[in-house]
Amino acid sequence: MRKISDIQWEIPKSFRNDMLVPARVYATEEMLDNIIADNSLKQLVNVASLPGIQTAAMVMPDVHEGYGFPIGGVAATKYPDGVISPGGIGYDINCGVRLLKSNQTVKDLYRYMMPLSKEIYKQVPSGVGKSGTLKLNNKELDRVFRDGAKWGVEQGYGVQDDLINIESNGTIKNAEPDNVSEHARERGADQLGTMGAGNHFVEVDKVSKIFDKEIANAYGLFEGQIVVLIHTGSRGLGHQVATDYIRKMINALSKYNINLPDRELACVPFSSPEGKEYFSAMACSANFAFCNRQLITWEVRNAWNKIFGNGMGGLELLYDVAHNIAKIEEHTIDGKKQKVIVHRKGATRAFGPGHNELPEKYKHTGQPVIIPGSMGTASYVLAGTTKSMEESFGSTCHGAGRQMSRHAARKQVNPDKLRNELLEKGIIIQAGSMRGISEEAPTAYKDVHSVVDVVDRAGIAKKVAELKPLAVIKG
């Protein structure tokens, strides 16, 4: 491993004869000790062998081992004949985060945190396999698959301004509902507006620190402000789409003469029938996830209005961004602009100032980037940069990143003790599962401050604000 800088390292493509590009790691030297403890670097080297991969395979400082690709990974393949790989997106397609901002301060509202957290827990269905209040038929599902968050707004679950503040306006193009299996449809039909379990949450936070006043002002953030984070994805629907197409692609490897160091990297040329079908089904799942977060926003707003009435103002959407997705984007490679298929798995889009996909109000600041931490620590709002466009295909980290398995966390963490410790810090936990509290303990995750510090120092995202939790709602 070659040291590029104090926070960037490279495994040259000469390391293994099947590597087509180098493998790059954003991390401090201290972080590397933790990273090499699992198979994430081996997986990164494997990704560097994918047909059509461009520039480098990359991982962010929140990297940890995943299915095929490491979580925290970024890989861009040549469009249209490079490969697309479901392992480079993940099972929870368009798992992502949105941030809602109020015009109220913690000083005004802290005494309401307990009733507010209970009302949000009541309004937002959560837990493994949990159903929502909607049960969509196939025709309605098709509309969600094609229109994403737009469908939710049209049905009264939001306002038009919400759509402006969502990545891709909440709708990924090229969605083809016919390529979503009946089993996937069954799993998703009653899960719109639900949070799920695992690391998903709704969290009421305060803005604890401002790092860049000018960008914070443009984002409408100020110190002491109450904000709400929503973190979830496409639920059982996306998981089934990934399962369906990984199986199809494993069976198609020989058809396209693709030899892989790991079958979990199953992939096909993007331009192939299987590649087009997967991408269109992935787009359906991504749109479902955007719509899911839109309906949860409606539920959170209902909870807010029930506790505060109309006297405390509403909750405005700052931004919604995906961190498990593949997108066709244009980037400059070797001085030339070209289209690529950017795989982001546990990595967040971080487009810099002036990009034509950004809302007008964020064109001069760069895209808002929402980075959730573990419950009990902190989360961050960052801004995308020009350097991220030059260096990391407009990408940065996505969170703290696990450093302990769920099984190990359950063995080591007493959930009652943790709940009490967090309460002593002024953090309320509403959760349906004591097991889930143990699995998501702060000790199970890397230090989010260190992770964010690395991407800030690397220049691929810029620190804008730090958020501290007041109430965490989980499945």
What residue ranges in 241-393 does DSSP mark as E strands?
Answer: 268-269, 316-322, 324-333, 336-345, 348-349, 368-371, 379-383
Measured between alpha carbons, how far is 318 from 219 in angstroms, rounded to an integer?
7
Q: In what order do the strands lie in the sheet with 2-5?
A: 2-5, 8-11, 23-26, 57-64, 71-78, 336-345, 324-333
**Cα torsion 212, 217, 222, 227: sign:** negative
Measured between alpha carbons, how far is 431 from 474 in angstroms, rounded to an integer?
5
Per the annotation, the verdict on 398 as an active-site residue is yes
**DSSP string of 325-367, one letter each residue:** EEEEEEEEETTEEEEEEEEEES-EE---TT-TTS-GGGTTT--
DSSP helix/strand/coil, 193: coil
Q: Which residues contact 446 (CB under 8 A, 6 or more apart)?
A: 31, 34, 61, 62, 400, 401, 402, 403
Residues 171, 173, 176, CA angle at the centre, nearest 5°?
A: 110
Pairing between strand 71-78 and 57-64? Answer: antiparallel
Pairing between strand 428-431 and 462-474? Answer: parallel
Amino acid at 187: R
Measured between alpha carbons, how far is 221 from 94 in angstroms, rounded to an integer?
25
Beta bridge partners of 338: 331
Active-site choice (239, 398, 407, 449)? 398
Task: List residues with catalytic annotation.
Answer: 398
